[in-house]
Structure formats: structure tokens, C-alpha cells
Structure 1
Amino acid sequence: MTIAAAADAVHARAPGKINLFMRVGALQPDGYHDVATAYQAVSLYEDVHAYPGMGFSVEFSGSIDTAGLPTDRTNLAIRAAKLLARRAGVSQGVHLEIEKHVPIAGGMGGGSADAAATLIACDALWGTELGREELHALAAELGADVPFALAGGTAIGTGRGDRLSPALTTGTFHWVLALADYGVSTPEVYRQVDTIREERPELVPADAPEVDAEVLHALRAGDAGRLAAALHNDLQDATLRLAPDLAPVLDLGRSAGALAAIVSGSGPTVAFLASGADAAIELQVALSASQLTALHVHGPVPGARVLG
């Protein structure tokens, strides 16, 4: 393939996500579950700065503690850069500097956002000029949430969550996030789902999971109250077993005026839906007064893109 002129350095940004709705199918023979989820990209971002390098390296900074993150070949951003280089026939390396603001192991897809922003940044840095379709295929190889971090907006995810279809959304939805100071293992949450279903076989779904139509209607109408009534997460009970301290956080947000409260993905981040920007600010203040780390974000926002 023809490689265009490379850039000196590239700054790319990708958003974190909230799962507005999550249905989890039965355990499959391969050990995975099919899901049906409604994603919304929100205004909490990961920033990736890509520089020419002899090999592949990454360092972290940002507003959260990144001390425990791997910086070797197991890091998802490094894997994304290497995958793109291999597929595009690029011999150069890259040094990545990632400013992290999305909670680590928080159910908001921070690592997936890193990978999506890295794909976009390296594509521009190396001048590989891959189209969105090719980048989406690479993203799907990296993880179930990476394609959505690339696409952004609001979308329905099926299969492992990587088969996306855009969801028409009008207006802006305002959320307050309560961030935990610890992470939760997504595989452990899914194992807990299976344990709960062994205890209560009636919870095992008979059919393939689907997103409720009411979620789509609420998004199309831009109606926060209607969306609040439709929020659902099959993972929430499993997460609460692993992190029971989240239950009073959910209750606190509801009592402080949230339209609805939900654990985002596998957690432990809790997302509170507010009726508007003013209500979200009031809720953020109330949660902060209770010694919680609370952030006001909005969605939907665009997916991974190059800045500047």
C-alpha cells in the first residue's frame, strides 16, 4: 500500500462511555456471553499523544492514579499500535503519552478509549490512511468496547458488544458520575452473574438478548425522564455482590434528586441521570458534600478523533 507523509506528532482524544442498558445472554460454550447494550459516549476523555519512536512505548499521566497500569506489550494501547503497524506494513515505532481521566477498571471503557485513540493517532502519525471500516475491524480485534470508543455518539451493541448500530438521539443528556477509588474485574463480574443464575435458574434468559424498544424511543425523543424509566443493567446485582458499598451510593444519588441511578457496565462507577444541566450541578454538589468524587458529564459526544 502507499503510505502518505507521516506527521511529527499527533494528539487524539476518545471518550469514556456509559451503558444505558445491558442485557446479558446465557453462558456460551466458548465461555463468553452475548450481550445487548445501549452505549452513550460522555464528556470524560482519554488524550493520547503519539510521537515517532524506534520501538513501542507508553507513559501515563492525568487526573487519576495510573501507577498500577502496565506499560509493556500487554497494555491495550501498545497492542493497538502494534496491530495497526502489522496490518499496514509500517516499520516505524511510536511513543505514546496518555493523559487518563476515565476511571481504571471502572466500567466506563477507559482502556478501550486509549486503544481507539491510539489507532486514530498512529494512523495519522504514520500516514497509513486506513478508512473507518478498516479501523473498526482492528478495534473489534482489541476488545468489545473499542469499536464504540472509535464510533462514539449513542449506539446499540450486540454480539460481544462490538457489532454496532447507531441509535438516533436528540438533545443532550446530563449525568453525574460517582467514581470509586478502586476497580472491579469485568471477568469476575460475569462469573458472579453465572453464580447468581446457578442459584436462581429462572434468571437464565431463554432468548438472545435485545435492547428494550423504550430505550430507543426515549433517546429519539431526547426525554431524560423517559430514559430514566428504561435504564437497566443485568450486571448490577453481580457488581453489588462484589462491591456492596455501592448500594448506599445508589440510594444517596436517588435521594439527592437523580432521575435514576445505574452501575455503568461492570462498575464500580455509578451514573446518575439528571433532568438537565442545573439539576446535574446540584446533584454533583450534594454527592461531593457526602465525600464522594462526583463529576458532571454530558452525552452523546463524538468518538475518537485527531485534535489540532
Structure 2
Amino acid sequence: MADVLGTPGTGPVTDADGRPLRALNPHDAGPARPPSSSFWARRSTRVIGGALLPLLLLGAWHLVTTGGLVPPYQLPTPASVWEAGVDLQQRGVLVPYIAISVQRVLLGFATGAAIALVVAAVVGLSRAGDVLLAPTLAAVRAVPSLAWVPLLILWMKIGEDSKITLVAIGAFFPVYTTVAAALRHVDPHLVEAGRAFGLRGARLFQSVQLPAVLPTVMSGLRLGLAQAWLFLVAAELIASSMGLGFLLTDSQNNGRVDRILLAIVLLALIAKLTDSVVALAEKQLLRRFA
């Protein structure tokens, strides 16, 4: 038996034929395996694959509209939507509409996410904060976005403050919910290990708890950004004279389906672009801190 299993410090563990028993040799992992080069993990595959479905939908849209299956007043052709965008650009309103909507989203998102991270830290790391704040925030989270609009208009009038505040409310809850839940479920063994090394308070949070929840924080930020775009449209649909939400309302009143589709496409593209920026920041932060 000793010949089979070996003894500590006498070399690698071997079987009866002298071959290493890899399961009993933790330091002998065999030859290093090359990193995965899966077809689906390649950057080119991701870019082409991600563009495939939109291109197919665009082709189907073109065939349906040019083939007369759907009347133009219900679904204009892609060329008509493009021409509507060119017309708005020539009138000098398209870029300002896009710029003001992006500005509102970024300001509201930054405000709401910053407040959410602070509140999530209080609720997730403190039992008192959890007991005192979590039930009320759960109730407020259930309030529909449109319910805030008349109240904000009465308080802040029809201006930028009301729109940015509504966007901040939309960004707050996804970030708060995900981060607070993640902080509650940090592995207690990690926390105890940090305390054993003398870490307390802010140092413990920075060195142990924050790296543990950083992936969840970034996911919450991406969810909050998407929610911010939804709340922006709600604000601009009701009380605005500029922006992509206003373009939707104005186009509906004038029966311009081509401009409605243009606004929808622009919202989708810009929201995806901002999400990609946050995703890029996520990769850098995870590579550095997690």
C-alpha cells in the first residue's frame, strides 16, 4: 500500500506500475492547456453575429413594405425613415434633439446611481438600515414611472429639473436593488478573513466587500442606465418641447409614422451605444479590481 500511495515528502504519488496518479498529485496538473479559442468567443464572430439579426429584420422590413404587404401609412419603408432623418437634420433639429436627450439621461443616471450606491451600502451593510429603509424603498419602487410625472411638474414645473429627477428615479432602483442584495450575500468567510487581518470599516469595504460585489455593481449600473432611457421617454412624452420623446409625441400628432420609427431606432441605437460604453468600463474595472 505504501508503494502505491507513497509517503509524504518522497516524491510524486504513483500507482503499482509507477505512473503518476494525477488525482493524488495536486501539484502535477499535467501540461498547460491553451486558452479557449472557441468560435463563439472570437471578437469577429461576436460583431458579425450581433449584426446578423438586425440586418435580417431590416431586410424583412424592406421586403414587406416594398412588396405592398403593409400599407405605407402603417409601416413606411426603411428608405422613407432615412429620408425623414435627413429632412430633420437639414432643418437643424435632429442633432439638438439627440443631444438634449443624451444630456438628460447622463445627468439623471449619474445622480440616481450615485445616490443608489450610498443607500445600497447602508441597507446592505447595516441591519438597522435594512430594517428602517428597505420596506419603504420596496413600496416606492412599485410606483409606475408615469405616476411621478404630474407630481414633479407641480413641484418643479415643466423644465429640466423635473425631467432629470424622473430619470434619476428610474436609474436609482435597479442599482440600489442589485447592489444591496449583493452586499447582503457577501461570503462571511471573506469578511472574517479581512477582519482577521485587521481590516475594519471603510478599509474592509474597499479591500474585501467591494471587489466581491463589483460584478454585480456593474450589472446594476447597466440595468439602471437602461431604466433611465425608459423614464426619459416617459418624461419627454408628457412635458417637453425638445428631445426624442417629444419627437415621438409630435410625430404621432402629425401622423408621421416615419418619424416615429426614426425616433424608436435612434433610441435603440443610442441606448445600445451608452450600454457598450459602460460594458467597456466594466471590463477594465473587473480586470483591475476583481
Which TM-score bucket, shorter chain as reference?
under 0.3
Structure (1/2) with the larger helix percentage? 2
Between the two structures, name the one with larger relative contact order (CA 8 Å, sep ≥ 6): 1
Greater Rg by CA: 2
From the two aligned structures, give the one with the greater strand fraction: 1
